[in-house]
Amino acid sequence: MIEENQAPTVRVFIALAPPDSAKEELARALGPAYTTYPDMRWNRIEDWHITLAFLGELPTAAVPVLRAPLAGLAAAGRALRLDLRGGGHFDERVLWSGIGGDLEGLHLLASQVRELVGEAGIPFEGRPLRPHLTLARARRGDIAGVLATAEGLADFTGHPWPAARLHLCGSNIGRGPGAIRYRDIDSWPFDGAH
C-alpha cells in the first residue's frame, strides 16, 4: 500500500534500441522456438533494448535532471554501428542475443552515460556492461527451451545497423505474460561525426 506522502516512482534505465528491421530479422530466426517453446515468457519485440545503465526505482521528480545531460551526450556522440549476434543464457533461465560491432564504442558510451548519472547525483547499480538483448525467461524448472534456443542462435549474425538514438526509458510491471512494459520517457539522436 502506498502512503499518501510517499513520492511517486518509476523504474528507469538508459538504453539503445535496435531498429525494427534488425529486431524482425532476429524474430524470424527465433520463429521455430516461439512455437516449440510457447510456455517461455517471451519479451515483446518492441521492448528489446541494450541497457547501458539500469537506475532502478527513482522518484519521478528525479527523472528530469537526466534530460539535459543525456541530450548533450547524444548531440556530441556518433551513431554506433552494431549488430545482433549469437545467443546465450544467464543462469539457464534468461535467454539473450548478443551484440556485435563497435563494442569498444558501446562500452565507452555506457561509461559516459554512467558518469553523467553519477554527476546528476543519482545512485545506480553499477554492474559491468554485458551487451545483450533479453529475449525470454524460462518458467520455474523448465530450462530446456532456453538452452535449446540459445544453442540454435549460436551462428546467428544479423545485418549491421546504426544505433541512432539514446533512450531514457521507464518500465511498468504488471501481471501475466508480457507483464513488464517499457516506454520511452525521452530520446535523442546522435548528432556527432559518423
List residues with catalytic annotation: 49, 132
Q: 15 phi and psi, to 5 degrees?
A: -150, 170
Chain centroid to Cα 61, Å, comes to 23
Going by C-alpha positions, the residue among 72, 75, 97, 71 that lies closest to residue 154 is: 97
Residues 6+ apart with CB under 8 A from 163: 16, 17, 18, 50, 79, 80, 81, 82, 190
Going by C-alpha positions, the residue among 109, 96, 86, 120 that lies closest to residue 163 is: 109
Q: Which residues share a beta bridge with 100?
A: 83
Per the listing, cell 545497423 goes with 161
Cβ pair 99, 105 in contact under 8 A: no
